Structure 1
Amino acid sequence: MASRKLICLQDPKQWTLPDEVAQPGWSPIYLDSIDKARAIINAEKPALGIILLDNRWVNGLNQALEVLLQDTAGMVEWIGLVSEGWTQNENTRRLIARYCCDYHTLPVDPQRLIVSLGHADGMAKLRRDSAGEENAHPEGVSLVGESSAMRGVYRQIRKVAKVDATVLLEGESGTGKELVAQAIHRGSLRCDGPFVAVNCGAIPINLIQSELFGHERGSFTGAHSRHRGHIETACGGTIFLDEIGDLQLEVQVNLLRFLQEKTIVRVGGVKQIPIDVRVIAATHKDLAAEVKAGRFREDLYYRLCILNLKLPPLRERQEDIELLAHYYFRKYRNLASAKVQGFAPTAMQQMLAYEWPGNIRELKNRVQRALVMCEQRTLGPKDLNLQFISSQREVETLADARAEADLRVLVAALKSNGNNIMKTSKELGISRVTLYRMLDKYNLSNHLDQGKN
């Protein structure tokens, strides 16, 4: 039987895996620090872990363990070990209840531990296999979603990650563009290199050149030493230029030159410095419209848009709302009192009815706030500050408005493309199957010229 890796988060001087447990094929990796455990989990991706919950972790002084358990939820099945009487400790009970699939009291019964490990390993395999190879989440990144829109995003991430071309991510604020950029980086051949994220809209205009390209000593007042910019720092890896639509035209010229020549010149310098880095850019703006308005260079736009991914807003991923809500509930549950158990049915109804203009970021923030403010056993609409969506009438009105907008866009696209199905589906960015379904839904099938399909 092949040896299976098992993280053991404790000092081996205190406890080691019994011989009869290791014999069936478990290979323990003993670690005595959170940082080491995190590094091994990221590198080796073990399915199971054992934690010795003693005074070192549960005395209320060490928060790093709980952060690790939160971050590895859905990645590692944890089993807790406790000394006799330690289950009376409030912190111990909380950690076991929230993050462990099972626990054992010392001294451990080897046969019972073998059964627990087998059960946990089986659950881990089911969890991995259920998503399927094709639509599985990119490894190591907290992208959450099982909707058809997100499965399409996962497929695109895998395709884009395999090549080294520049990528442009488009989508509304809060749709997870940086997480997608991280997923592309981690799935690429540059995964061992740095990932440097830069918010272009947050850097003052007088510093943007220096921050991106670096500067030489004495190039301006206050430049007391040579400074490597973000692009140079990312050499060998990936640089993520978020909100690139906010770059000033002067900086756009220099960025275009870098993309063309793969070299930079530091502010105040003359030397051409070769840079090997992949560029992933992102924006919530319509860059094509920005080009027409003269606020963004057309040549830079086409340089950035070699590969283009459009991230769907949360309102178009309604089947993911409940999944995301429970994910953030588990992740931030430590903010709430122990009595809070989940969402009230009315809260989930309101969440499904809401339009989420702030997308995933807004949902995360609302769940965090609700966990802090809740005084009941379940989170209600008031805790989420969604009580203003109060009637089915309003929900129906939103659905009607969306249907009316879909119909208007559909009719206009058909008309402009002479009822040609292929051209219309391409313009709308949907498949022909989806277009046919929409035609049936709005009773437009009879108006098509079948000869133009």
Structure 2
Amino acid sequence: MQQPAAQRRLLIVDPCDDCHRLLPGLRSAGWDVDSCRLGDALDQPCDVGLLRLQAVHLRHPDAVKDLITRSNTEWIAVLSAEQLRMPAVGDFVCEWFFDFHTLPFDVSRVQVTLGRAFGMARLRGRGVRKVEETTHELLGESRPIRELRKLLGKLAPTESPVLIRGESGTGKELVARTLHRQSQRSEQPFIAINCGAIPEHLIQSELFGHEKGAFTGAHQRKTGRIEAAHGGTLFLDEIGDLPLELQANLLRFLQEKHIERVGGSQPIPVDVRVLAATHVDLEKAIEQGRFREDLYYRLNVLQVVTAPLRDRHGDLSMLASHFAQFYSLETGRRPRSFSDNALAAMGRHDWPGNVRELANRVRRGLVLAEGRQIEAQDLGLETLDPAQPPLGTLEEYKHRAERQALCDVLNRHSDNLSVAARVLGISRPTFYRLLHKHQIR
């Protein structure tokens, strides 16, 4: 017995008399129709929305933008022909709505548009749901990210220092915040300091604080970052850039669990868990005398390595969709999907800046995109040369590789086919069959 089709939910916001006259035909076509005012729309689940645009919506569009962004469905605008001719209305409708209808309604066209919007809403919902429902800050389902989440779950409850290593832009601070959030110190401060971003003459005061009058300009006592993290977690980013003198002070703190402010002599006990991160080769820095070996072993009790984006196969599209959703609020534009050309260009790109580069390119793409999708050129990525052959299927790859292997071995052993077959690890009959298959010789 055939299962009945799932009922499609339509929400009409701020309906007009023309909208009410649509209801019988829509219900007979299988739509479950409800209506409400704009302020209540987010509390009404729906598959497609129909919004009667009024003057107040056009004067104050933020409420409409918020509804469309947060409802994760497709919306159709309803407005008069006069409204459509108003300045900037066309741009607003094209930017934020799936489609629009002018009054009076063309009923058959409305039903076609609703059907298309319903299909698009389902596609968009499947595309973003995985990102929205994930409970982890570290997004992705690739093997490296799954193993990383598993490792952090083991390391977080401990009190041991952790050294986080990885290329720039791979989320080392995000790893540190995840370790803090999953630890027993999660309710206490998380204090981060970038050791490479603070001028060398200020970094000691930033880390350890200073007493009033300790140096010119020290008009009052200042609490340092280490002391501010008491009870919680101290994250030292780019630890490899810490000057050698400060490395000695940090080592002393890790050994003795207390600090002295600059200009002070009173030891101050501080209880923190120290996490450090670096993108440089610390072992090489030790050999060159730029990093203390004893500090290295103090920090490198436990180690986490973040994978570059190029090794996280399968996460690229998910992360790009996440950033498109996230930055749409900042840019004031509706979240956009990515064209096939853009996805292919992202797949070919090597991502030297890793996830940080991806976030920045998506942010740029949202601003520059003119259509409903973000294109490769919006991301600043090269499009595929039309003259370049498509990638093809796995079978096509195997076919080309097989033919290439035959050609290569014949170039070397064309005078002795038995040797050629042995080089490829196949029998002579199989070798002849493959030559015939690929029409070689």
TM over 0.5: yes
SS at the partner of 1:96? Answer: helix
Tell me which of the two structures has the higher relative contact order, counting C-alpha pairs closer than 8 angstroms and 6 or more residues apart: 2
In the other structure, the counterpart of 2:253 is 258
Match of 2:160 among 136, 158, 165: 165
Match of 1:361 among 340, 356, 360: 356
In the other structure, the counterpart of 2:144 is 149
Measure how far apart 1:354 and its partner are. 0.6
CA distance in 2, matches of 1:394, 1:201: 45
Report Cα offsets for 1:49-103 as digits up to 9, x if no partner.
Answer: xxx9649xx9xxxxxxxxxxxxxxxxxxx6359xx98865344443223212689
Conservation of the 8 A alpha-carbon contact between 2:169 and 2:353: yes
Distance 1:262 1:392, change over 3 A: farther
CA distance in 2, matches of 1:372, 1:242: 31
Conservation of the 8 A alpha-carbon contact between 1:243 and 1:284: yes
SS at the partner of 1:318? Answer: coil
In the other structure, the counterpart of 1:327 is 322
In the other structure, the counterpart of 2:308 is 313
1:129-144 alignment runs, 5 A limit: 137-138=135-136, 141=137, 143-144=138-139
Distance 1:389 1:286, change over 3 A: farther
Distance 1:180 1:86, change over 3 A: farther
Question: Which of these two proteins has the greater Rg computed from alpha carbons?
Answer: 2
CA distance in 1, matches of 2:237, 2:361: 24
In the other structure, the counterpart of 2:216 is 221
In the other structure, the counterpart of 1:209 is 204
Residue 370 (structure 1) aligned with residue 365 (structure 2): yes
Report Cα offsets for 1:152-206 as digits up to 9, x if no partner.
Answer: 1101111111101101100111011111111100100101100011011011000
Residue 79 (structure 1) aligned with residue 43 (structure 2): yes
In the other structure, the counterpart of 1:179 is 174
Measure how far apart 1:366 and its partner are. 0.3
Distance 1:174 1:158, change over 3 A: same
In the other structure, the counterpart of 2:70 is 99
In the other structure, the counterpart of 1:268 is 263
CA distance in 2, matches of 1:395, 1:306: 48
SS at the partner of 1:279? Answer: strand
CA distance in 2, matches of 1:86, 1:177: 47
Residue 382 (structure 1) aligned with residue 402 (structure 2): no
Distance 1:209 1:380, change over 3 A: same
Total equivalences in the alignment: 296
Distance 1:309 1:395, change over 3 A: farther
Distance 1:157 1:232, change over 3 A: same
Conservation of the 8 A alpha-carbon contact between 1:344 and 1:379: yes
Conservation of the 8 A alpha-carbon contact between 1:216 and 1:266: yes
CA distance in 2, matches of 1:242, 1:367: 25
SS at the partner of 2:277? Answer: strand
CA distance in 2, matches of 1:267, 1:339: 51
CA distance in 2, matches of 1:234, 1:383: 42
Report Cα offsets for 1:17-66 as digits up to 9, x if no partner.
Answer: xxxxxxxxxxxxxxxxxxxxxxxxxxxxxxxxxxx9649xx9xxxxxxxx
Measure how far apart 1:220 and its partner are. 0.6
SS at the partner of 1:222? Answer: coil
Report Cα offsets for 1:383-417 as digits up to 9, x if no partner.
Answer: 01102664796998xxxxxxxxxxxxxxxxxxxxx
- Unaligned ranges ≥5, structure 1: 1-51, 59-77, 104-122, 397-442, 444-453
In the other structure, the counterpart of 2:293 is 298
CA distance in 2, matches of 1:144, 1:252: 34
Measure how far apart 1:345 and its partner are. 0.2
1:162 partner letter: P
1:397-408 alignment runs, 5 A limit: none
CA distance in 2, matches of 1:230, 1:210: 9
2:154 partner letter: K
Distance 1:188 1:87, change over 3 A: farther
CA distance in 2, matches of 1:392, 1:279: 54
Report Cα offsets for 1:409-437 as digits up to 9, x if no partner.
Answer: xxxxxxxxxxxxxxxxxxxxxxxxxxxxx
SS at the partner of 2:315? Answer: helix
Report Cα offsets for 1:302-330 as digits up to 9, x if no partner.
Answer: 00000100000001002111110111111
SS at the partner of 2:146? Answer: helix
Identical positions, percent: 47
1:97 partner letter: I
In the other structure, the counterpart of 2:279 is 284
Distance 1:292 1:334, change over 3 A: same
Measure how far apart 1:233 and its partner are. 0.3
SS at the partner of 2:151? Answer: helix
Conservation of the 8 A alpha-carbon contact between 2:324 and 2:335: no
Q: RMSD of the alignment, in Å? A: 3.3
Conservation of the 8 A alpha-carbon contact between 1:328 and 1:367: yes
In the other structure, the counterpart of 1:236 is 231
Report Cα offsets for 1:343-373 as digits up to 9, x if no partner.
Answer: 1101000101110000000000000001101
1:422-433 alignment runs, 5 A limit: none
CA distance in 1, matches of 2:38, 2:270: 48
Distance 1:368 1:376, change over 3 A: same
CA distance in 2, matches of 1:283, 1:215: 27
CA distance in 2, matches of 1:200, 1:282: 10
Conservation of the 8 A alpha-carbon contact between 1:96 and 1:102: no
Report Cα offsets for 1:275-326 as digits up to 9, x if no partner.
Answer: 0011010011111111111110000000000010000000100211111011
Residue 196 (structure 1) aligned with residue 191 (structure 2): yes
1:371 partner letter: L
> What TM-score, normalized to structure 2?
0.61
CA distance in 2, matches of 1:190, 1:359: 30
Conservation of the 8 A alpha-carbon contact between 1:80 and 1:100: no
SS at the partner of 1:198? Answer: strand
